[in-house]
Structure 1
Amino acid sequence: MNIADTLDRNNIFFPEREAIVYGDRSWTYGQFWADANRLANALQALGVKQGDKVCLFLTNCPEFIIAYYACQKVGAVAVSISSMCKADEVEYMVNDSEGVVLITEEALMEHVPARDRIPNLRTVVSIDGDSGDRNWSGLLEAASPEFRTVYTDRHDGAAIIYTSGTTGKPKGVVLTHGNVVSNTNAAKYMCQMRPDDRAICFLPIYHSFAQNFIFNSVVQAGCTLVLHKKFDLDRVLESLQRDRITRWYAVPAIYIMVLNDPRSADALKTLRYCFSAASSMPGEVARQWKEKFGLVIHEGYGLTETTPFATYNHEFRHKEGSVGTAIMDVEVRIADGDGNEVPRGDLGEIWIKGPNVMKEYYRKPEETAETIVNGWLRSGDIGYMDDEGYVFIVDRLKDMINSAGLKIWPREVEEVIYTHPNVRECAVIGVPHEVFGETVKAVIALKEPGRTTAEEIIELVKKHLADYKAPRIVEFLDELPKNPTGKILKRELKEREKKLRGGA
């Protein structure tokens, strides 16, 4: 089993079908296959063997996807490094993964560490210049477009994706060929992907969601990927119409931006499918989206460690507020602290088991053993399951607020705050309190700054929830900090709070 078997199949059956669109450049499946073969030959000529690690330090670009499939063809492991990383971070990931080749671009070359700091690395390839040891175009021009994909076992490593690392150094999640093939097949089937679909991708493809749920699933379905370097509202709205986009993938923050833009009604006319992931979709936003565009926002749940697809809402019956039921061949249960399943409706940690669960954290056996227990992956997320098997996310275990012994789940409070018509986005965090230990703080970005007061927000929450869950502190910011996928970074808000309190 090899991820690249699907690309070989697509070249046989529909080589003229459009595979990748990137601005004014495009590749058919036949051209994509030939370029992946050329690079596979070039990698072998550089001494890359089955099991070697090839680091992809790139922004969103077709070369990333071609390099990823070239790695699979030779049986190498594609190591994704965030294009946001600086030299120290790149150094850590290259050394931790034992990378032998690094493929990057001129704009990122300043963040490639000095070679004496990455001694295992043999070759740096630049996709658009001559600053590396080798040049992309030169490698491809000298290589044959024919290559026989090597045999790999379903349990062999195919990719390493680094977690964001909320504590300590990032961990390299090893995903196997079996993980990715199983997960992309589930996405194709359950999300009803069709060969005539055209999927837009502006989320970073070094991240598991865009890499597996979007671009690898597009190849699995044999449809077309319209790739953008990043999210730019004007360009994306223009692309939706020009490129006849049928499948839309975004995170809640981007849904909110599009929902509030008057041009969106015309831009979204060709869409038939919408999906949200990376963070929980506020119920009010989902309701407004359906009312304005007539489209349900499908949701799923998962982690980098689950490739990422684990639950889906839903191919049969959508249930508002849920992340759905377990996907095909996957088990989900809600467990107590000892791993015992709790009764339906009770809160517990979400545990996941199936062919989507990662092989390991690379070279970290202790962390792997803590996370995977008897084949079950501990998510660190708190939720419950209803009588029909639908999973509802309550919050991250680490984000729970303990105020005078009372548990407060931030998402519950955020859902109420989002019902205020002037709230664009919000995050609820726990902050130190000298009597209660912790208290609730809401950090909010408004649609129209200055037109809503802290008192309004507090009273709104008190109207719907117990008084102790209402924020005692409300802060308004122009923008909330986010990672490249658009997920609000609560850890940065907590660090900011520490600084405001003088390190307390």
Structure 2
Amino acid sequence: MNLASNLERWAAQRPSHPVVVFEGRRVSYAELDAAASRLAHALRAHGVVAGDRVALFLPNIPEYLVAWYAAQKLGAITVSINAIFRTAEVEYLLVDSGSKVVFTVGELAQFVPRERCPALGHLVVCEGEAPAGAATLAQWSEGRDTQLTGVDCAADAPASLLYSSGTTGFPKGVTLTQSNIATNIATAAACSGYRSDDRLAAFLPLFHVYGQNYIMNAAVLAGATLVLFRRFVPDQVLEAIGRERVTMFFGVPTIFIGLLSMDLSKYDLSSIRYEMSAAATMPEEISRRWTERFGRRVYEGYGLTECSPFACYNDLVEHRFGSVGRAVEGFELAIFDEADREVPRGQWGEIVIRGPGVMKGYWNRPQDTAQALRGGWLHSGDIGRMDDDGYVFIVDRVKDMINVSGFKVWPAEVEQYLYKLPQVQEVAVYGAPHPEKGEQVVVAVVPKPGQSITGGTVIDYCRANIAAYKVPARV
């Protein structure tokens, strides 16, 4: 198997159909496959073989797809690097992964410390000027053959490294296999109902597992079109939705919160048929407001980089506000206590996951892998509960818990209540040291435009609605 086969199939069946629309450019499936093939030939000529690591230190540009699929055609392992990282962070990922090639853009090339990355042989610039000693993508690709069928890879062969900090320490390379990604994107496309005539707004970063697998790779599997943006700039994205007739909108909770505070009447959003939120917990109140305003629910998904990422969906049959849904096909979720025993339904504990998307392990970290996958379950580090019908409700991250005199306070729970205040646009609850209690609850509030709210109002509201130990000490 080979993940590039999805691109190759659509290049043969619908060669002129656009796969990417970006800043006035339209790239067809045939053009993308030809560009990826040329680059794959170049990679092979420069010594890259199956199993080698190829790093992508790139923003959201079409060349991201070219480099990703070129590496996949050879059975190489793509290494995704956050485009806002700087020298020390980039060095750590390149050295840890042993990447042989890094693709980047001119403005980011300065943050690649080639002299301190022993395995790194080549720096290739995909946009902008190349520094001394580097090549451009055009130079590498020029004159190469436009045909290269992906090599046959084993189902458990590593395909992608996406770095996750998890709950502790330096980032760890989450090793996702061919099968992990192939099965997960198929489930994603089925749950979200992707069609080949769909146009997906793709402004979430492609270096992140949500953007890379749930959006980019699942769209290519379905033969759909990515309307690609470098980042989320509201006016640019909203205007493009009407111009390009975007049908599917993927965001994170902060984006939906921001849009709810805007006057959207001047934008043509009539083409959108589907919205989804993931990567962070959607406050129940925000989800309800969106549905009341637009008449459509925001679908929600849950998972981790370590499970490719999709494990839970709300929902193909019955949507429940406040939940991230039920396990998707092939996955199981359970709630464990601190001794790794399953707790009764309705009680909170750590969410654990098993299924076809769960990672092969952490790159070169057998002890961390054994700890995360102990007992045959992926331990998420997220605290949640499950109702009698299997719907999962996120409480918070283990590491985010605030310990107030021995009482556990979960920030997300307090935030859910605060979002009910009509003046509140955004809120963040966190812990601060306290000499006697250990920690105390602190709240930061952003009021809606044109409104104001005092700290006293927030504290009084909390005193009337939640237990005393959860009430913020200051705002």
Please state which band the TM-score falls in when normalised by the shorter chain.
over 0.9
Cα distance between partner residues in 2 of 1:207 and 1:447 = 29
> CA 1:409 to 1:36, structure 2 compared with 1: closer, same or farther past 3 Å?
same
Partner of 1:112: 112
Cα distance between partner residues in 1 of 2:160 and 2:319 = 32
The aligned amino acid for 1:451 is S
Cα distance between partner residues in 1 of 2:404 and 2:396 = 16
Give 1:309-328 correspondences, 5 Å limit.
Answer: 309-328=310-329
Partner of 1:496: none
- 1:266 deviation in Å? 3.5
- Cα-to-partner distance string for 1:236-292 (whole Å, 9 max, x where unaligned): 111111111110001111111111111257432211100001111111111111111
Cα distance between partner residues in 1 of 2:276 and 2:293 = 16
- Cα-to-partner distance string for 1:401-421 (whole Å, 9 max, x where unaligned): 221222211111101111112
Partner of 1:5: 5
The aligned amino acid for 1:24 is G
> CA 1:19 to 1:328, structure 2 compared with 1: closer, same or farther past 3 Å?
same
Contact 2:8 2:149 in 1 (8 A): no
Contact 2:125 2:137 in 1 (8 A): yes
Contact 1:301 1:312 in 2 (8 A): yes
Partner of 1:62: 62
Partner of 1:344: 345
Cα distance between partner residues in 1 of 2:318 and 2:325 = 9
> CA 1:280 to 1:182, structure 2 compared with 1: closer, same or farther past 3 Å?
same
- 1:180 deviation in Å? 0.5
The aligned amino acid for 1:357 is V
Contact 2:239 2:267 in 1 (8 A): no
SS of 2:301 mapped into structure 1: strand
Contact 1:161 1:172 in 2 (8 A): yes
Partner of 1:94: 94
- 1:358 deviation in Å? 0.7
Give 1:31-430 correspondences, 5 Å limit.
Answer: 31-113=31-113, 115-128=114-127, 129-131=129-131, 133-164=134-165, 167-263=168-264, 266-430=267-431
The aligned amino acid for 1:438 is E
- 1:425 deviation in Å? 0.9
- 1:165 deviation in Å? 5.8
Contact 2:167 2:399 in 1 (8 A): no
- Cα-to-partner distance string for 1:377-406 (whole Å, 9 max, x where unaligned): 000001111010100101111111221222
- Cα-to-partner distance string for 1:452-490 (whole Å, 9 max, x where unaligned): 10011112222221222111111xxxxxxxxxxxxxxxx
Cα distance between partner residues in 2 of 1:419 and 1:68 = 43
- 1:328 deviation in Å? 0.7
- Structure 2 unaligned regions, length at least 5: none
**Larger deviation, residues 153-162 vs 437-446:** 437-446
> CA 1:264 to 1:96, structure 2 compared with 1: closer, same or farther past 3 Å?
farther
**Larger deviation, residues 380-389 vs 443-452:** 443-452
- 1:338 deviation in Å? 2.0
Cα distance between partner residues in 2 of 1:253 and 1:224 = 25
- 1:191 deviation in Å? 1.2
SS of 2:108 mapped into structure 1: helix
- Cα-to-partner distance string for 1:113-148 (whole Å, 9 max, x where unaligned): 1x3211211111111233252211122222100112
Q: TM-score, structure 1 length as denominator? A: 0.92
- Structure 1 unaligned regions, length at least 5: 475-504
Cα distance between partner residues in 1 of 2:388 and 2:61 = 44
Contact 1:154 1:178 in 2 (8 A): yes
SS of 1:99 mapped into structure 2: coil
Cα distance between partner residues in 2 of 1:86 and 1:344 = 45
The aligned amino acid for 1:50 is A
> CA 1:392 to 1:186, structure 2 compared with 1: closer, same or farther past 3 Å?
same
Contact 1:265 1:293 in 2 (8 A): no
- Cα-to-partner distance string for 1:74-129 (whole Å, 9 max, x where unaligned): 0000000111111111111111000001111101011111x321121111111123
Cα distance between partner residues in 2 of 1:152 and 1:31 = 24
Contact 1:237 1:264 in 2 (8 A): no
Contact 1:258 1:264 in 2 (8 A): no
SS of 1:107 mapped into structure 2: coil
- 1:451 deviation in Å? 1.8
Q: How many correspondences in the alignment?
A: 473
The aligned amino acid for 1:33 is D
> CA 1:390 to 1:28, structure 2 compared with 1: closer, same or farther past 3 Å?
same
Cα distance between partner residues in 1 of 2:265 and 2:418 = 24
- Cα-to-partner distance string for 1:311-358 (whole Å, 9 max, x where unaligned): 000111111110000011111111112222111111110000011111
Partner of 1:471: 472
- 1:450 deviation in Å? 7.3
Cα distance between partner residues in 2 of 1:288 and 1:436 = 36
Q: TM-score, structure 2 length as denominator? A: 0.97
Cα distance between partner residues in 2 of 1:463 and 1:268 = 40
Cα distance between partner residues in 1 of 2:446 and 2:164 = 27
Sequence identity (%): 44
> CA 1:448 to 1:16, structure 2 compared with 1: closer, same or farther past 3 Å?
closer
Partner of 1:487: none
SS of 2:291 mapped into structure 1: helix
The aligned amino acid for 1:280 is T
SS of 1:75 mapped into structure 2: coil
